[in-house]
Amino acid sequence: MVPKITSLSGYLHEYQRSIANPTGFWANIAETFFWRKKWDNILSWDFHKPKVEWFKGGKLNITENIFERHLFQRGEQTALIWEPNNPNEATRKYTYEELFLEVKSFANVLRNHAVKKGDRVAIYLPMVPELTIAMLACARIGAIHSVIFAGFSSNALAERIQDAEAKVLITSDGGFRGDKIINLKDTADEALAKCPTVDSNIVVKRTSQNIQWNNKIDFWWHDEMDKACEDAPSEVMDAEDPLFILYTSGSTGQPKGVLHTIGGYMIYTAYTFRNVFQYSSGDVYFCAADIGWITGHSYIVYGPLLEGATTVMFEGTPLYPTPSRYWEIINKHEVNQFYTSPTALRSLMSKGQEWIEKFNMPSLRVLGTVGEPINEEAWHWYHDHVGGNKCPIVDTWWQTETGGMMISPLAGVIPTKPAFATLPLPGIQPLIVDNEGDKLCGNSVEGNLCIKFPWPGIARTLWNNHDRYSDVYFGKYKGLFYTGDGVRRDEDGYYRILGRMDDVINVSGHRLGTAEIENAINEHPLVTESAVIGYKHEIKGKAIFAFVVCNHIPEGADDELKNSIGKGVSMMISAIARPDKILFVEGLPKTRSGKIMRRILRKIVENNGDYGDISTLLNPDIVEQIEIQYKDI
């Protein structure tokens, strides 16, 4: 197990050590894992190239570190508790030994479908145990998984499958979410029509609804498992071989396939999991995120299972069947650490006290939040009503690209402050720069958040696009990893994340690129162009506002047109990307070179008339026109 810091002085000491001698620090932690062969080199890096390699030459398999390493001690311990959408359906539990058997059998299913080391496997599943099993089975045989959130449309799914050239898709007949059934198989079928690289579509039976079946490529999960042998030797991998691709939105263009490699990601997720949550053997840990996003990858699956934890996976939503669902799960499984998003908290808070006041949750010791800035009101509600004033809150700042948490309190070790992610974790060297890239030293400063030294969990590249990786993360401030976030370091040296500085909108903790949404809007036959911005929203944190220019609006059909534009976005991307508000305008403010000035549109929506000098715009008059129209709605 990785070492655990248990006091503030311990943290300060470890932090200093990790900065003074980063390679020695991480090598000590790496030693606690099982390697088939030790590494040749701890770290080789250059943020200018950019290139990062940790533990190159080290040979291992991450599933041996989850299973074989733990079996003697905790074969019979529960590894995974699966809580279904409907509370009347039975919970499923897997011990380490049982989960291992499932993973090995499915590894053989993949091998039977000719999946080899380095092949890509796309996974489009709801939150069912088979999702975890499929990911680990890929890791067992050295295949690269690419999990695609089950809320994505067929178009978005196809785009991701095509980019990774996946050989196999794993999906289900459908999924339960609250009182809805999601038709995953239909969506997958539509996507597969555009994905010639996929030879097999393995289908988990979850809802038993009627589905189309194509004998050539569709295979039932249970039939394939019945045929598979239970013993599956693991593929020996290099620490720098890819573990997975996870697509995320950027400020421009198509989603980026963030790539993580095995060794560094393993060490980093395990270390941060144990230390931030102060996990102790026997604790039950519940992260309410979806495995379709990085939080679920790192802190439902890999981090907890690497540390021999009992991890809860929940299929449903916080509001179903009532807004007490999380609290019921916490009491039912005697959860010790609970991790969720500010959006979920705000939505539960808005439902009223009656849904939580009768719940005393004595098992809870640590509360966590992630994905977006948490406002002070939600922080206090979490602290007082969920945690009964006795549980520290870990506000964890990180990103898909960082692999694991970066700035966060260690629960009960680092004193917290509402809405502050507090201090960097050991090994993390943040740097704040102004817009010119000049370093801002000392405390009480605000600027762009960069990291100046590599940590083991950093993404190594973007799938098939190293140039874009170089450009997006290392191109803006030379020699530094740029996060895209704004940050303030206060008078005590504590970090408060201010949100995205680029054209990325964080809606309910989901990361969306303005360009992606605009492209989807612009597909509408009546639309000429559009500009999308985020605006403050009580529950979602940020909501989407779209300014749309049409070539023609049929008389009296405004609402109908807005509806069809919204539907188009849902179909092209996902319902989460559908604009909350649309305003039809005559034109968009642009620079003379044609760049849309979203900054001005943001100010209009914030009712902040301080636009700066707009006289140099291509069309300065449009600003006042939009302002008047906006005030009218």
Query: Where on the chain is the footprint of ligand PRX (CB under 6 A)?
Result: 248, 293-295, 370-373, 395-400, 421, 483-485, 497, 499-500, 506, 511
Beta carbon of residue 483, minimum distance to ligand PRX (angstroms, whole number): 6
Rounded least distance, CB 576 to ligand PRX, Å: 12
**Complex with ligand PRX: residue 484 or 568, whichever CB lies closer:** 484
What's the closest the beta carbon of residue 194 comes to ligand PRX, in angstroms?
26
First to last CA, the chain: 58
CB 523: neighbour CB atoms within 10 A?
Answer: 14
Kindly tell me which of 296 and 589 has the beta carbon lying closer to ligand PRX: 296
Q: What is the CA radius of gyration of the chain?
A: 24
Q: Which is nearer to ligand PRX, 352 or 475 (CB)?
A: 475
Residue 66 CB, nearest approach to ligand PRX (Å):
21
Q: What b/e sequence results for 583-604 when a residue is b if at least 16 CB atoms lie within 10 Å of its CB, and e otherwise?
A: bbbebbbbeeeeebbbebbebb
* Distance in Å, CB of 468 to ligand PRX, minimum: 16
Q: How far is the CB of 451 from ligand PRX (least distance, A)?
A: 12
Choose between 250 and 318: whose C-beta lies nearer to ligand PRX.
250
Gap between the Cα atoms of 516 and 61, Å rounded: 36
∠ CA 33-34-35, rounded to 5°: 115
What is the closest distance, in whole angstroms, from the C-beta atom of residue 368 to ligand PRX in the complex? 9
| d(C-alpha 307, C-alpha 298), whole Å | 12
Q: Nearest-CB residue to ligand PRX?
A: 400
Question: What distance in Å separates the CA atoms of residue 608 and residue 487, rounded to the nearest whole number?
Answer: 22
- For ligand PRX, the closer CB: 189 or 401: 401
In angstroms, the CA 424 to CA 585 distance is 45
* Nearest-approach distance from CB 83 to ligand PRX, in angstroms: 21
Give residues with Cβ within 8 angstroms of 410, minimum separation 6. 5, 11, 275, 276, 278, 394, 425
Three state DSSP letters for 276-292: HHCCCCCCEEEECCCCC
Tell me whether residue 133 or residue 497 sits nearer to ligand PRX (CB atom).
Answer: 497
CB of 436 to ligand PRX, least distance (A): 22
Pairwise CA distance, residues 268 & 393, whole Å: 21
Q: Are 221 and 205 in contact (CB under 8 A)?
A: yes
Closest separation in Å from C-beta 537 to ligand PRX? 15
Residue whose CB is less far from ligand PRX, 74 or 496: 496
| Closer residue to ligand PRX in complex, CB, 108/261 | 261
Element (H, E) at 132: helix 129-141
Q: Which residues of 108-136 are buried (b: 16+ CB within 10 A; e: fewer)?
A: bbbbebebeeebbbbbbbbbbbbbbbbbb
18 versus 248: smaller Cβ distance to ligand PRX: 248
Residue of 536, 544, 529, 520 whose CA lies nearest to 585: 529
| Number of neighbouring beta carbons within 10 Å of residue 403 | 31
Nearest C-alpha neighbor of 137 from the set 110, 115, 167, 170: 110
Cβ atoms of 422 and 395 within 8 Å: the answer is: yes
- Whichever of 211 and 504 has its CB closer to ligand PRX, that residue is 504
